[in-house]
Structure 1
Amino acid sequence: MSSSLNFSKKLIFFTIIYNLLEGVFALYFGIDENSTSLLSFGIDSFIEIFASTIALLGLSIKSNLSEKFAEKLIAYSFLLLVVFILFKSTYDMINSYRPEPSFYGILIALVSIFVEGPLAYKKLKIGKESNNLIIIAEAKETLFCLNLSVLVIVGVGVNYLTNLWYFDPVAALLMIPWLIYEFNQHR
């Protein structure tokens, strides 16, 4: 059990490092190319860093009060992302503020699928084998990010291939039901 706990801590630490890189690149290209879905994806990378950090602390320090408080913080960060997406997507569509086609946005989301898919699977497996709810919850955050990657590929990819710019903000809007679900799971 101790070796699987140590391995899961290493996986979570890797998740933090990976999401830092993913978030920086997604925000950079999201701003540069005015992509709402890519910006939202980048912001979510930092939410995942926060959740992973909380999970690491929870695995190191056992405290129900701090876990519940941290979980509420994570929940409300999802709600803030919903507000951002609603505002930015609506603004962009009303004003026809078109995102640039983004090859790098597609690349970032594809890399995310290939990295975070196996990572989430491994963390879920360890969490279930050790019956550790913290590891399971953190793995579900990684799975959530994986789902967002697919939406980014759709929104950014359709814009890249067809120049139908409104797919980008619509893809961001499609993230909202998942974000609200995650908010309700953690508040």
Structure 2
Amino acid sequence: MFKDSTHSQVLYRTASLLALVTIGYNIFEGVISVLIGATDETLSLFGFGLDSFVEVVSGIGIWHMMRRLQQGEEDRRDEFERRALQITGGSFYVLSVGLLVTAGLSFWEGHQPKTTFWGIIIALVSIFSMWFLIRQKNRVGKELNSAAILADAACTRACLLLSVALLFASIGYELTGIGRMDSLGALFIAWLSWKEGREAFGKARGVACKCSCSCG
């Protein structure tokens, strides 16, 4: 019994560490993506970076939940986590509207970024990172039989989808030179952000997760 309890504590500490790694990675990814996206006039990369910043707020809520679970509290959201989800949802809505308007204008004007090379690199790094986090969260969640951790792992797949969208938009521009490929990528990221915002508000109300990044 003591051994099982000690092992569970180790797993909960691992879950908390994974949440902190996710937060740190999103901050780093957000800064790099926004700076390079602005410099290279790559709208899809810029929007991808802003999305990463929003996910930091969600990640803080998830980390808070992992800490509570480690202390033996119920697998139920407290006021801090619900407020984090509400802030996350509102931020995703603002981001999606801003990207929709900007990407729409860029598409209409046929704007061309200077290059999307760095978008390809960042997307590939992000895909690998999300894949690693999904595997680790699934492992910990299954060993602890924790619905919260498994839901977090499942919802991280939507973050991977955002990275795939950035990758295809960036490769598409590099291969074709068609500037609207970047705008289409930004529009798709705006759509995914809107879904993330809607599901974040749903989670704050206790609605079941449909696997957006904001779900914890």
TM superposition score normalised by structure 2: 0.79
Take 1:76 and 1:183, find their aligned partners in 2: how far apart are those partners? Answer: 6
Q: Is 1:153 aligned with 2:167?
A: yes
Q: CA 1:92–1:76 in 2, change beyond 3 Å: closer, same or farther?
A: same
Distance 2:154 2:31 in 1: 22
Amino acid at match of 1:159: Y
The one-letter code of the counterpart of 1:143 is R
| CA distance in structure 1 between the aligned counterparts of 2:178 and 2:49, rounded to whole angstroms | 22
Match of 1:90 in 2: 104
- Secondary structure in structure 2 of the residue aligned to 1:99: coil
Identical positions, percent: 30
One-letter amino acid of the structure 2 residue matched with residue 169 of structure 1: S
Moved more, 125-134 or 13-22: 125-134
Summarize the Cα distance change of 1:127–1:76 in structure 2 as closer, same or farther, 3 Å threshold: farther
Of 37, 56, 63, the match for 1:56:
63
1:22 is aligned, of 4, 29, 52, to 29
Distance across 1 between alignment mates of 2:97 and 2:141: 32
Q: In 2, are the aligned partners of 1:51 and 1:138 still within 8 Å (CA)?
A: no
1: distance between equivalents of 2:173 and 2:146? 41
Of residues 176, 185, 194, the one that matches 1:162 is 176
* C-alpha spacing 1:86/1:177, structure 2 compared with 1 (3 Å): closer
Q: Is the 8 A contact 2:96 2:194 kept in 1?
A: yes
User: How far apart, CA to CA, are the structure 2 residues paired with 1:69 and 1:163?
Assistant: 43
Report the Cα distance in structure 2 between the residues aligned to 1:135 and 1:173, rounded to whole angstroms.
Answer: 30
- Map 1:131-142 onto structure 2 (within 5 A): 131-142=145-156
Where structure 2 has 5 or more consecutive residues not aligned to the other structure, the ranges are: 1-7, 202-216
Residue of structure 2 in register with 1:116 after alignment: 130
Cα pair 2:89 2:200 within 8 Å, conserved: yes
Q: Kindly state the Cα deviation for residue 105 of structure 1 after the two structures are TM-superposed.
A: 1.1
* Structure with bigger gyration radius: 2
Preserved CA contact (<8 Å) 1:112 1:149:
yes
* Mapped contact 1:22–1:45 kept (Cα < 8 A): yes
The one-letter amino acid paired with 1:34 is E
TM-score for both structures, normalised by structure 1: 0.90
Aligned to 2:89, the other structure's residue is in SS state: helix
Do residues 126 (structure 1) and 126 (structure 2) align? no
Instruction: State how far apart, in whole Å, the 2-side matches of 1:16 and 1:95 are.
Output: 36
d(CA) in 2 for partners of 1:134, 1:47: 20
1:2 to 1:119, Cα distance in 2 relative to 1, 3 A: same
The 5 A counterparts of 1:31-110 are: 31-61=38-68, 64-110=78-124
d(CA) in 2 for partners of 1:135, 1:88? 36
Go from structure 1 to structure 2 and tell me whether the alpha carbon gap of 1:99 and 1:50 turns closer, same or farther (over 3 Å shift): same
Q: Deviations over 1:37-57 (max 9, x none)?
A: 101110111122221112112
2:209 maps to what in 1? Answer: none
1:151 offset after TM fit, Å? 0.6
**How far did 1:128 drift?**
4.3
